[in-house]
Structure 1
């Protein structure tokens, strides 16, 4: 597995993946940070395009990512993550709306768990999912990061 650490307005971001695609985008600050395993190999060139697209996103110049993704998870989780990718830039959906969109209308709690286990933050936009009351709900990297990302997109719509 290759990795790189890039700087962003919300702190350092870890990118990791292999020839199949990007497997992880994690914040190195917050509750859900991960440590780089000893057997991963640093490779800035491998992530050059991902870093370029993320920089453009943070500048408000990119609204849709075009990267090869290879998240690892259950079939249910992957169906949720796919639905997250269909939420348009600058918009939000509720957990229930995601559950309905994947054909499991009563599975909104399971959607929340899958959302929390999303290994590719920002690009698979779990930050765009909010509570049914319109309030920001948990975000593995902290509500301040979620709020930052939503405000970034709000300003650039």
Structure 2
């Protein structure tokens, strides 16, 4: 599984990692270094709820924010992200990372926001390759018709959107 491969790859590096349980049946594997979150992926691998290596303050804050999100008390993650990709991918990921919980926008909206109005297919490709699941909330980006596009993790994306829509309805006006 992915989480075992990434854990093996990180073992000899200066990165910290944790696995955080979620209400969605999958756990979120998170890794960071001293500059920011470097990886996060959904996994179903059997692990303890939180399995930290070391005591990195940034990792502790990321875990705290993830737990707050899963408890419905966080609108946007506020931890540094170390984004590695093409300039276009980094622009897409940075824009999407700013979306508040419960916000849905289209791929075309993201393309316009980064100054590339015709690049909506490129936006979809960049989001399909995001290295930071949930910290870059790709599930909040939908087709122009408001429907989920792409095959990857559609049911999890749908559950995340449903979860967030319930939170938005509970927010005080």
- Could you say which TM-score interval applies, normalised by the shorter chain? 0.7 to 0.9
Q: Take 1:132 and 1:22, find their aligned partners in 2: how far apart are those partners?
A: 30
Within-5 A mapping of 1:109-120: 109-120=121-132
Within-5 A mapping of 1:14-93: 14-29=29-44, 43=53, 45-46=55-56, 47-93=59-105
Structure 2: gaps of 5 or more residues: 1-14, 46-51, 169-173
Aligned residues: 145
Q: Take 1:108 and 1:94, find their aligned partners in 2: how far apart are those partners?
A: 8
Cα RMSD of the aligned pairs, angstroms, is 1.7
Name segments (4+ residues, structure 1) moved above 4 Å: none
Of structures 1 and 2, the one scoring higher in RCO (CA 8 A, sep 6+) is 1
SS class of match (1:26): strand
Aligned to 1:39: none
TM-score of the pair, normalised by structure 1: 0.85
Aligned to 1:38: none
Within-5 A mapping of 1:142-157: 142-157=153-168
Q: Take 1:153 and 1:57, find their aligned partners in 2: how far apart are those partners?
A: 9
Q: Take 2:147 and 2:34, find their aligned partners in 1: how far apart are those partners?
A: 38
The answer to whether the 8 Å contact 1:24/1:71 transfers is: no
TM-score of the pair, normalised by structure 2: 0.78
The answer to whether the 8 Å contact 1:58/1:152 transfers is: no
Aligned to 2:112: 100
Aligned to 1:122: 134
Structure 1: gaps of 5 or more residues: 34-41
Aligned to 1:12: 27
How far did residue 88 of structure 1 move? 2.7
